[in-house]
Structures are given as C-alpha cells and as structure tokens.
C-alpha cells in the first residue's frame, strides 16, 4: 500500500489536505490511532498526578541541594543549566528532560540528583527551547550545545570532562540520540542512556499535536535517530522503555536497538514495568536496574 502524505498548509489557499482520521497512514495505523499511541497524556490516565509528584519531590530536593543554578550555556532564554557537584574529579551525568518538546523544565527532574551525588557523580541538568516558540531544529542544536558546554566547562565545578555521560527521557532521549550523530558530541561522551524516545519521526507528521513542527520529508529524516546513528560505533548505549507504554513506543525502542546492534554497537536494551511518565522516576531510584546499569558504565569510564 502506498503511504499517504499529509499536505502542509498552502500559503495561497490557506487550506490543509489531510487524510480522514480513519485512513491508514503509517504502519497500518490511522491518524486517530497514532494520536493515542504517541500521546502519553492520552495513554496514561493519571499522568498529571505523576508529574505533580515529580515536581513536589524536585522542589523539596532543590531546598536541600547546593550547586550552581541558572548557568547560561547558549544565547536562547531557556539555554540554562544547573550543576550539582559531587567533588573533585567526579564523573559527570548530564540528564536532559522530556516533555513532548513543548513542556516541562530541568527543575522538574531535580529529584534525580541526590542518589547520583550519593554515588559520587556530579549532575548537570539543562533546559532547552520548547515548541512552539523554538523550532525542532533549534532544540536539536541546544542539545548539542549543552553537551559541548558541559564538556568544556565542568572542570570549574570539579567534574571530570573526560568522564561525561548523558541520559534523557522521551523528548530528551530523542534529542540526545540526534546529538550523538555529531562527531563533536559523540567524541566527548563516554556513554548514553535513552529512555522512552521516538527514533523514527515519521508518525509525528500524522499527529495533530505536532503539526506546528512543520515536518517535511527532509525534516522527518533529519529528526529521526534511526537514520542518523551515533557517530562513534563504540559508544556504550543503553536503551530503555516501560512495559506499560503503548506498543508503538515499545516497538520504536526495540527497532532502534536492533539498528544499533546491526552496526555492532555496544547497545543494551532494558524493558521494565512502568508507563511513559513513570520511566522518568527510574533515573532517581538507586535500586532500579537502569540506575545500576548506568552506574557500571560510569564507573568503568
């Protein structure tokens, strides 16, 4: 079956030519099915309560934590990061938050910091520009710039730039995966952990929530990590996904893992109980397998 294509607004006519919601447009899925499969706020009924709990725990953690706040790593108003040092010569974890490229902030994930400090790991939490005021290509640049800035400057906070590791969830995972395609970034990181990301962007061109991305054929390919693998074939990579996520989200992770393994990359796959919003909690839980796996990668760096 030939794949239908969404027509973007015609500048002259000001109209859309969009397939009806019940027409299959991607892997046999209709636009309505894609809207469910790729919108966790629809798939997880209690998502607001989970997010509110993260914010509550993050606010509490920020009152206890020291570190440096609101450090500028680029010219955009949201290119700010917070650094929480673990001591001289400490390895460094840069964690990039999710939020569908349009919501949330670094401080919504401050709750992850203390367990890493307890294990002697410095943590850097960047924010980045958000849709609709910041284009997807700009967000991709912000992720690269966060890595490069941290590598160049973390020594001032006692961190070891040669032991820089990155991790992200959802949109953060997607942006970090793309950043690793740039050799200048891949050469500066020692491992990458990506949880619940989208690695083939094609379904998002059919997702009404993301029409403001302006996804053309060229941009879909440019924004798809499955077409832009890490520049370093020896980069240790952990891919993770929750078993209570939608089948499409699980498939995306498995397909990307298979693609990396086909390149003989040292890529591991972790599937554990949890929905899309619960996956973020894993990074702040020292008893969770993702934490243990990441810690091992950090300790051998």
- Catalogue all structural domains in the chain, each as residue range(s) with its CATH number: 24-299 (3.40.50.1820)
- Tally Cβ neighbours within 10 Å of residue 22: 9
pLDDT, tens digit (0-9, with 9 covering 90-100), for 261-296:
999 999 999 999 999 999 999 999 999 999 999 999
Mean pLDDT across 180-208: 97
Bridge partners of 240? Answer: 195, 270
pLDDT, tens digit (0-9, with 9 covering 90-100), for 122-138:
999 999 999 999 999 99
What is the distance of C-alpha 225 from the center of its chain? Answer: 11
Q: Is the pLDDT of residue 4 over 50?
A: no
pLDDT of residue 208: 87
pLDDT, tens digit (0-9, with 9 covering 90-100), for 227-250:
999 999 999 999 999 999 999 999
Does residue 65 contact residue 123 with C-beta atoms inside 8 Å? no
Could you write out the DSSP letters of every residue in 201-225?
-GGGGG-GGGGGG---HHHHHHT-G
Which strand (E) or helix (H) includes residue 159? strand 159-169
Q: Is the pLDDT of residue 225 over 90?
A: yes
pLDDT, mean over the chain: 93
Q: Is the pLDDT of residue 141 over 90?
A: yes
pLDDT of residue 17: 59
- Rounded Cα distance, 276 and 47, in Å: 9
Does residue 186 contact residue 231 with C-beta atoms inside 8 Å? yes
Q: Is the pLDDT of residue 16 over 80?
A: no
The better pLDDT of the pair 19, 131 is held by 131
Q: Is the pLDDT of residue 146 over 50?
A: yes
pLDDT of residue 112: 98
């Amino acid at each position: 079956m030939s794949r239908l294509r969404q027509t973007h607004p015609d500048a002259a006519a000001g109209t859309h030519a969009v397939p009806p919601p019940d027409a299959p447009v991607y892997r046999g899925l209709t636009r309505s099915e894609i809207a469910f499969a790729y919108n966790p706020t629809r798939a997880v009924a209690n998502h607001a309560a989970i997010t509110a709990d993260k914010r509550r725990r993050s606010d509490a953690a920020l009152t206890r934590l020291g570190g440096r706040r609101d450090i500028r790593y680029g010219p955009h108003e949201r290119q700010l990061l917070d650094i929480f040092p673990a001591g001289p010569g400490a390895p460094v974890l840069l964690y990039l938050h999710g939020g569908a490229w349009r919501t949330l902030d670094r401080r919504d994930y401050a709750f992850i910091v203390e367990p890493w400090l307890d294990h002697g790991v410095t943590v850097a939490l960047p924010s980045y520009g958000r849709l609709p005021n910041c284009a997807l290509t700009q967000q991709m640049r912000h992720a690269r710039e966060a890595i490069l800035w941290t590598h160049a400057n973390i020594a001032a906070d006692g961190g070891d730039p040669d032991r820089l590791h990155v991790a992200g969830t959802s949109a953060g995972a997607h942006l970090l995966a793309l950043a690793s395609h740039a050799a200048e970034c891949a050469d500066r990181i020692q491992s990458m952990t990506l949880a619940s990301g989208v690695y083939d962007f094609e379904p998002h061109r059919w997702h009404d929530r993301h029409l403001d991305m302006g996804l053309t054929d060229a941009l879909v390919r440019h924004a798809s990590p499955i077409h832009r693998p890490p520049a370093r074939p020896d980069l240790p990579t952990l891919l993770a996904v929750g078993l209570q996520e939608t089948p499409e989200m699980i498939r995306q992770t498995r397909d990307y893992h298979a693609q990396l393994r086909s390149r003989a990359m040292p890529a591991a796959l972790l599937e554990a109980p949890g929905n899309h919003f619960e996956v973020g909690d894993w990074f702040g839980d020292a008893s969770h397998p993702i934490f243990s796996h990441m810690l091992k990668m950090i300790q051998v760096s």
